[in-house]
Structure 1
Amino acid sequence: MSTSPAFAPAAGGDPGMPRHVAIIMDGNGRWAKKRLLPRVAGHRAGVEAVRKVTREARALGIEALTLYAFSSENWRRPDTEVTDLMALLRTFIRSDLDELAAENVRLRVIGDYRRFGTDLTEMIDGAIARTAANSGATLVIALNYGAQAEIAAAARRLAIRTAAGDIGAEAIDEAAIEAELDTAGLPPLDLLIRTSGERRLSNFLLWQAAYAELLFVDTLWPDFDGARLREAIASFAQRERRFGGL
């Protein structure tokens, strides 16, 4: 039985240091509620947590950091909250893009972010283009992302290629599907963290998480910082990863 490149352990390097970490950033609303603040205050504090964690990830040498910023299900939230989230995304790009570029970080976005409208889409496209040639760490932001839709889209593309005669059905294996996913070209996902005490993946990186280590912490996202990221890495380093072997 062959092993898909997506699930194979990384060759070389420190086995205790994940190459690719993903985070479900949960708990902004509860953080604000505990402080009798509006939900947008929790989202603002969450943006500051993003800054702390991305800087620490770079300092640790993590190759790719994927952050679940806006799911395809988040459109169900009140219009005012969605508007606030989009405004914060604009602010983050304006205020942090220079730092990312200066630090040789490559920005990548997964999900159908074009639903956000022309103005924000152009801003995101510009940020991606500005950092495309960078060769350092990759910061991946999941926007209007849902893993089930991602997998279905990959299947459709492979079906179209099969119907056109470009590939045979026998060529559709794990590696072929992996190549069609939004995360193609990124290191395999090693560690997936969810904050706020919830114990579910919420339609995030379902394929990629097949052999990832999962860590659920009670810390609300605005309180998650560099020290807590290091604690998560220390927990990861203690785990034995066998990828189906002995």
Structure 2
Amino acid sequence: MATKPVPTAELIRAQLRRMRNAAGMSQEDFGKRAHYSGSQVSAVELGQRPLDEVYLARADEIFETGGLFVAMLELAKRDGEPIWFRPWLEAERNATQLRCFHPTLIPGLLQTEDYARAVIRTDSRLTEEEVEKLVAARMERQAILDREHPPQLTAVIDESALRRFADGCEKVMAEQLMHLVASAERQHVSVHVIPASAGLYVGLDGPLILAHSTEAGWVGHLDDQLGGNVADRTEDVETLLAKWESVRNDALPRRQSLDLIKEIVRPWI
């Protein structure tokens, strides 16, 4: 009987444990050298904390592996995302600016784990294992916001997405909105809400993401019912930039947006 392939992320965690033990270091010892707490090291090794480039780069330095763990992380990220999404990941990881708009959901880069799980589970075709794999991959993507030089992220969200308190998911949604507020307080993250009073506007056609890098300029990504596609033709990118400017102009200023989010979540906390 053929054995089931071991996920790359699991191999990374196993190798981290093996090399730490071989070096005679406890989790606390490794944490001190890597500038993490022992509990954080334990969470990484148990899979309770997402792997990220900063953590693995420090492991590479301590174990003198020549960048092996960081290289394996790239494989794990690719393994964890649908094939159609992989081209976009490169643009997202290399971006200095990110602009995302969604009319019905909280954007993936700002989702909590429980909210992401609830959203992904709406696809009844997925097994629980597939759901968890996609959730982990989405959490891994968010590591770009924690790196030393993160991209400047501007998110525009329709008010209706903030009021989607489904039965039984009130706690999940309340935690998501509080996370959104906390994220928006970060210097490199800006969140804007299009109020219900805006009525009809161009963004209701669907979500979009734009990424800008020094080398490649702007590139876009569009979600649809079959997955999504990357838009890099000049005329397509110009169209998305124009649509972005339109939805951004319909949104509230940053402080008013945060006040609205807090008002919406207040009855649930």
Q: TM-score with structure 2 length normalisation?
A: 0.29
